[in-house]
Amino acid sequence: MKTFLLSLAGVLPFLSVVSSQGLPDPAALAQMGVEWETSQHASPNSTFYTVPQNFSRDLAPGTLLAVEQATNLSSYLVPSSLTLSRIMYTTTNLNGTIQPASAYVLWPYAPAPWFASSSSSSSSPSFPLVAWAHGTSGLFATCAPSNYKALMYHHFVPFALAKQGIAVVAPDYAGLGVSKTPDGTHIPHEYSASPAQANDLANAVIAARAAFPSYLPSTGPFAVVGHSQGGGVAWAYAQRQLEDPVPGYRGTVAFAPGVQVVEMITKARNGGVGPIQTDTLFGVQRLISAGITAVYPSFNFTGVTPVGYERWNILAKVQGCMPTQGLVFAGLENRDTVTLDFTNDSTTLEFAKRTKVGGKPFKGPLLVLAAENDVSLQPEVLESIVDETCEVLEAGNSTESLEYALYEGVNHFPLISASQAEWMDWVKERLSGEAGSKKRDCDAPPKARCTKRRVKGFRTDVSVQFPLPNFLVTEAEAVWQYGL
Ligand SMILES: *[C@@H]1O[C@H](CO)[C@@H](O)[C@H](O)[C@H]1NC(C)=O
Ligand SMILES: *[C@@H]1O[C@H](CO)[C@@H](O)[C@H](O)[C@H]1NC(C)=O
Ligand SMILES: *[C@@H]1O[C@H](CO)[C@@H](O)[C@H](O)[C@H]1NC(C)=O
Ligand SMILES: *[C@@H]1O[C@H](CO)[C@@H](O)[C@H](O)[C@H]1NC(C)=O
Ligand SMILES: *[C@@H]1O[C@H](CO)[C@@H](O)[C@H](O)[C@H]1NC(C)=O
Ligand SMILES: *[C@@H]1O[C@H](CO)[C@@H](O)[C@H](O)[C@H]1NC(C)=O
Ligand SMILES: *[C@@H]1O[C@H](CO)[C@@H](O)[C@H](O)[C@H]1NC(C)=O
């Protein structure tokens, strides 16, 4: 995707697989895509995601359903010395219904030296924790990062954190990984319903602590980090923390967050967004239509044209994730796959209202990082949401802090690497000290601290700025394969 979603439409015309054959057969491309995706699964046929019979909708959210203590890493591509666990647990969807979901926990070799406490020993250490919210992986059960060989985002985030001695708990999000309850009821992924995925994140922390109480104590410090779709989830989590706090929370980092995307699509329709981001947003409209349908079944893909719906069904038939989505929609203009009246449909507007992130109070500190050359998300649009949020903080006499930093000359994914020196230190400071421990002028009246700044890169004119996560995917031969 170009983003948060990776719609590859802009990249695909240049791919030989497409251009050399004229108009490709979408079903054949779907098959090719999904075979390659399957080759990137740690276990092509994992029974881990089968929900135990004792699952019930009456369980409390955050209840543990299954634990895989030590995942066999021989089929993964995870740096040696790290280890992995997977858990299944209960969460709540946007409507508050209990659903089963999966998550992974990536363990460091040992806790970071700055964290090692007198109470923990080498045989039973406790770890600082980051709850990681991934970006768009797709809409189907097959698109679970916990079953991708390199966990999706690999060295960008989870490996980077674990190699610094920080444990990472990462929900797949409900509907990804676990696909049905024991009675066969399908669990759809409520794409772009960020408060629902924030529930998945919160409940993954609670369940991981229940599974590993000595390694992850129930009040131990944790920070939240998310990118793109997951940046919106992370910010939604910061809002959720006010209403339904999870102990130990120390702050949130949101990279290029997908917030208020329906509003962004409206802006794009009115010409208020650049042409590249507009094209991406039209691709994203298909995914949001699926997300709204997951919450409101009667919506039934309003928002997608008949030709878009036909291609969507080709994708759904093979349960294709982001790389395959790019292939299936090749040869179509994104704008031809989506309807004009989507953004004034009453269900769309209700969904947008219920899932609104930004322009609301939250529990901070919150660090928002944006990419100047983001193909998915125009930084000016994001900045206006940051401003709206700061006004709300000030009007409410909030003392929370919101820091916004714009990284010059970088794209949607390279932003994460470009800013690692900043965000890694930020996370460590939060996990090692008190929440929001930055020095304050004690004589000044308490007020919200909103700051905005630009970060200049060195030689950004010659650096490689690929719009996809093109890093550590095995055996990738073509650009479309980099979408996971
Ligand atoms: C997948 O697992 C199921 C149930 O264990 C088994 O029946 C099936 O043959 C497996 N398929 C493959 C391709 O291994
Ligand atoms: C479900 O059964 C498993 C295996 O018997 C057990 O470990 C687990 O605690 C049970 N979970 C619930 C929520 O009852
Ligand atoms: C891990 O999987 C590999 C490959 O399937 C297998 O050879 C090995 O025995 C497994 N290790 C354990 C500890 O189960
Ligand atoms: C979720 O709640 C909305 C609003 O009450 C309702 O219209 C919708 O049908 C519910 N979705 C499901 C799957 O029950
Ligand atoms: C959704 O719309 C499609 C195409 O218009 C139709 O074939 C299908 O039956 C509808 N599904 C539901 C659940 O209404
Ligand atoms: C929604 O917007 C479209 C495009 O601007 C317009 O054609 C349509 O009439 C509007 N529908 C409603 C219900 O307002
Ligand atoms: C914020 O503080 C001002 C000045 O002390 C006060 O007049 C106002 O009522 C406060 N607003 C809220 C929402 O508490």
Q: Provide the terminal-to-terminal Cα distance of the chain, rounded to the nearest Å.
A: 9
What is the residue type of 221? P
Instruction: State the virtual CA torsion across 293, 297, 303, 305 in degrees, nearest 10.
Output: 110
Is the CB of 397 within 6 Å of ligand 7? yes
Q: Report the nearest-CA residue for atom 7 of ligand 1.
A: 45
Q: If you count DSSP H runs as helices and E runs as strands, how many of each does the chain have, helices first?
A: 13, 10
Is the CB of 340 within 6 Å of ligand 6? yes
Residues 6 or more apart in contact with residue 346 via CB below 8 angstroms: none
Specify whether 139 is located in the same domain as 106: yes
What is the average per-residue pLDDT within 356-370? Answer: 98
CATH of the domain at 171: 3.40.50.1820
Q: In whole angstroms, give the CA distance from residue 140 to residue 137.
A: 9
- Single pTM value for the model: 0.92
- The reply to whether omega before 61 is within 30° of 0 (cis) is no
Q: Which ligand sits nearest to residue 60's alpha carbon?
A: 2
Residue 402: beta bridge partners? 366, 450
Among the listed residues 325, 398, 326, the one whose alpha carbon sits nearest the alpha carbon of residue 364: 398
Instruction: State the virtual CA torsion across 212, 229, 483, 280 in degrees, nearest 10.
Output: 180
Specify whether 343 is located in the same domain as 275: yes
Is 191 among the domain residues? Answer: yes
Specify whether 230 is located in the same domain as 349: no
Residue that terminates a domain, selected from 354, 386, 409: 354
Q: Report the nearest-CA residue for atom 8 of ligand 4.
A: 296
Residue that terminates a domain, selected from 313, 338, 354: 354
Specify whether 31 is located in the same domain as 75: no
Specify whether 274 is located in the same domain as 414: no
Q: Which ligand sits nearest to residue 210's alpha carbon?
A: 2
Specify whether 7 is located in the same domain as 153: no
96 alpha carbon to ligand 4 midpoint, in Å? 10
Contact (CB, 8 A) for 173 and 81: no
Specify whether 277 is located in the same domain as 250: no
Residue-level pLDDT at 325: 95
Residue position matching structure tokens 């200049």: 456
pLDDT tens by residue, 334-347: 999 999 999 999 99
Is 182 among the domain residues? Answer: yes
The total domain count for the chain is 2
Is 466 among the domain residues? Answer: no
Is 484 among the domain residues? Answer: no
Specify whether 403 is located in the same domain as 309: no
Q: Is 96 left (phi over 0), alpha (psi -120 to 50) or beta?
A: left
Specify whether 291 is located in the same domain as 317: yes
Specify whether 118 is located in the same domain as 193: yes
pLDDT tens by residue, 152-188: 999 999 999 999 999 999 999 999 999 999 999 999 9
Token output for 175:
């509907």
Give helix 346-354 / helix 261-269 axis angle, nearest 10°. Answer: 130
Is 480 among the domain residues? Answer: no
Domain carrying residue 25: 2-41+262-354
Q: In whole angstroms, give the CA distance from residue 344 to residue 366.
A: 31
Specify whether 280 is located in the same domain as 266: yes
Is 53 among the domain residues? Answer: no
pLDDT tens by residue, 265-303: 999 999 999 999 999 999 999 999 999 999 999 999 999
What is the average per-residue pLDDT within 452-458? Answer: 97
Residue that terminates a domain, selected from 337, 354, 371: 354
Is 444 among the domain residues? Answer: yes
396 alpha carbon to ligand 7 midpoint, in Å? 7
Q: In whole angstroms, give the CA distance from residue 287 to residue 301.
A: 9
Q: Which atom of ligand 4 is nearest to the CA of 95?
A: 1
Residue-level pLDDT at 484: 64
Specify whether 142 is located in the same domain as 242: yes
Token output for 48:
């881990």
Is 473 among the domain residues? Answer: no
Q: Which residues of 344-374 are buried (b: 16+ CB within 10 A; e: fewer)?
A: ebebbeebbeebbbbbbbbbbbbbbbbbbbb
